Chain A
Amino acid sequence: MSAQKQLLIIDDDPDFVDGIKAILVKANYKVDVAYNPKDGWAALENKNYDLLLLDVMMGRGAEGIMVARKLGKDAKLRNLPVLIITSIREQMAFLFPGEAVHPHFVTVDELVEKPVEPKLLLDKIATLIKTAEAKTGQVADAKKR
């Protein structure tokens, strides 16, 4: 693997974060943590990350979704791969009646359910980062031509 990848976790449950961070650090990722969407957004603006792990249910409701929507509208951050980590199963009626929770919020995202098995977690992260890199690589190539 090339340089150490830099990940950001935005999740308001410190215990869950500890559990997930341990797996990522063990797998040689550098990990930053924000415990609310506001700090998370500040971190995203100040530093370049290779991937964001985003919780859905934070604060008064589905604030994680707001972060994802904001990302989608941001010219620079829209291509940041996002792994959405949620405790709600797909079509939980009370959240978005009649809507699936995961109709791809940003260009590059994936969804896993809490708790997430280490192997699944690491596989998804590796794939997302690889796909994103291939994409930006293509863009760079196109620009060179």
Chain B
Amino acid sequence: MEHAKILIIDDEEVVLDSCKLVLEPAGFKITTASNGTAGLALVPELDPDLIFVDLKMPGISGFDVLEHLHATDPNRVAIVITGYATVSSAVEAMKKGAYDFLPKPFTPDELRLIARRGLERHRLRQEAIALRREKEMLRENFAAIVSHELKSPLSALQQNLFGLTAELEDRMSDEQKARMQRMKGRLDDLLKLIHTWLRVFSVDVNKIKEQFQPVAVGQVIARAIENVLPHATRKNIEIASDVREPLPAVMGDAVSLAEVLGNILGNAVKYSHPQTKVQLTAAADRGAVVIAVSDNGIGIAKEDLPRVFGDFYRGRAGAAMDSGCGMGLAISRRIVEAHDGTISVESEAGKGSKFTIHLPANT
């Protein structure tokens, strides 16, 4: 915070002088301006870390200065100095983007304290901006790196397995063919995993909005059940479906919605005990289609509930017993939200989980 640049805009010379007197020994670099126009003119060149501005000045007022500052850079931290410290003027200043206010007269300690707080605020905002930028860069570069550097060698491998299978077709034993098949399967899983990552990190889910069409939810449900059925049968789990037609259509993307339901149903099967039942219900409810999937499986621990829709979350038991990348629910949430819908979960460890999806009906 040392050498932080502070700009003070006030028409009273005595205020400028006393602020300088108090803040300069504290190690801050002070610049002053005696009216709003002169102060604003200094901002681009000086790029101050903190701005104090008097509300009542001849020429443009402190409110105008705030408005202008906020319009050019909403992240600037400004504190208003006000001689008429009424709640209403302070509130109005805050609305215009001021971070805090300093009522006149003030003691040196108050000024130092409020300046430090303002500068701390500035630092946090800058850090937040930097982090956001970093995340964005990571997202973009991840797409490029993953798609080319990881996918290319795997694709070449897989293509050669395809080629070899064709070439050696009549020379391989059945056992060799089966091994070839398993290699292809493993590579295929890896490629699918990369696709999932790519979807999460680089594909803007909101893009699917451009191709929204009226979707018959019943058909989407049927397709999702069909996809999950082999897994359910293997564990001897019954998927009981209660779709109360007629359901209103939903504006959306049928493939993405089927993916969501596939994920939810897949999880229900994955975390259910063998020989149990997974229940799906779908019904119209006040301008929405509500789809609920419940199971009597292992459930989710209370402390994990807030994280289940986040990236890379995996049920603890899930990590041990089954494959998966922990992205299913994160993707599902993004897809549902792109449909202006909501997805929520209720669960109790040891008893089971219930996921509920609300999708607004097409009106």
**Which of A's residues lie within 8 Å of B, judged by CB?**
13, 15-16, 18-23, 26-27, 57, 87-89, 91-94, 114-118
Total chain B interface residues with beta-carbon distance under 8 A? 29
Contacts of B207 in A (CB 8 A): 91
The smallest beta-carbon distance between A112 and chain B, in angstroms, is 11
| A-B residue pairs in contact (CB < 8 Å), sample of 16 | A13-B152, A13-B156, A15-B153, A18-B160, A19-B158, A19-B159, A22-B163, A22-B164, A22-B166, A57-B148, A87-B148, A92-B143, A93-B202, A114-B151, A115-B154, A117-B162
Contacts of A118 in B (CB 8 A): 162-163, 165-166
Q: Does A26 contact B203, Cβ atoms closer than 8 Å?
A: no
User: Please, how many angstroms separate the alpha-carbon atoms of A116 and B160 in the complex?
Assistant: 10
The smallest beta-carbon distance between B210 and chain A, in angstroms, is 10
Q: Does B166 contact A115, Cβ atoms closer than 8 Å?
A: no
CB-CB contacts below 8 Å: B129-174 with A: 140, 143-144, 147-148, 151-167
Which of B148, B161, B167, B203 is in CB contact (< 8 Å) with A91? B203
Contact A23:B162 (CB < 8 A) given known A92-B143, A92-B147: yes
Contact A116:B159 (CB < 8 A) given known A23-B166, A93-B203: yes
Q: Does B167 contact A115, Cβ atoms closer than 8 Å?
A: no
Give the one of A15, A94, A115 with max B CB within 10 A: A115
Contacts of B195 in A (CB 8 A): 89
Contacts of A20 in B (CB 8 A): 159, 163
Q: Does A94 contact B143, Cβ atoms closer than 8 Å?
A: yes
Q: Does B151 contact A93, Cβ atoms closer than 8 Å?
A: no
Does B191 interact with chain A (Cβ within 8 Å)?
yes
Which of B154, B155, B159, B204 is in CB contact (< 8 Å) with A93? B204
**Which of B's residues lie within 8 Å of A, judged by CB?**
140, 143-144, 147-148, 151-167, 191, 195, 198, 202-204, 207
Q: Which residue of A has the minimal Cβ distance to B150?
A: A87
Chain A binding site: helix, strand, loop or mixed by DSSP?
A: loop
In the A-B complex, the 10 residue pairs with the closest CB atoms: A22-B163, A19-B159, A115-B158, A19-B160, A114-B155, A15-B156, A16-B156, A19-B163, A115-B155, A115-B159
Q: Which residue of B has the minimal Cβ distance to A114?
A: B155
User: Please, how many angstroms separate the alpha-carbon atoms of A7 and B207 in the complex?
Assistant: 36
Q: Which residue of A has the minimal Cβ distance to B153?
A: A15
Contacts of B165 in A (CB 8 A): 118
Contacts of B202 in A (CB 8 A): 92-94
Which of B147, B162, B204 is in CB contact (< 8 Å) with A115? B162
Q: Does B147 contact A93, Cβ atoms closer than 8 Å?
A: no
Contacts of A57 in B (CB 8 A): 148
The smallest beta-carbon distance between B115 and chain A, in angstroms, is 43
The smallest beta-carbon distance between B177 and chain A, in angstroms, is 14
User: Please, how many angstroms separate the alpha-carbon atoms of A92 and B144 in the complex?
Assistant: 9
Contacts of A116 in B (CB 8 A): 159, 162
The smallest beta-carbon distance between A60 and chain B, in angstroms, is 12
Which of B159, B198, B203 is in CB contact (< 8 Å) with A114? B159
User: Please, how many angstroms separate the alpha-carbon atoms of A39 and B143 in the complex?
Assistant: 29
User: Please, how many angstroms separate the alpha-carbon atoms of A126 and B42 in the complex?
Assistant: 70
The smallest beta-carbon distance between B195 and chain A, in angstroms, is 7
Q: Does B152 contact A16, Cβ atoms closer than 8 Å?
A: yes
User: Please, how many angstroms separate the alpha-carbon atoms of A91 and B143 in the complex?
Assistant: 12
User: Please, how many angstroms separate the alpha-carbon atoms of A15 and B162 in the complex?
Assistant: 12
Q: Which residue of B has the minimal Cβ distance to A121?
A: B162
Which of A19, A27, A87 is in CB contact (< 8 Å) with B147? A87
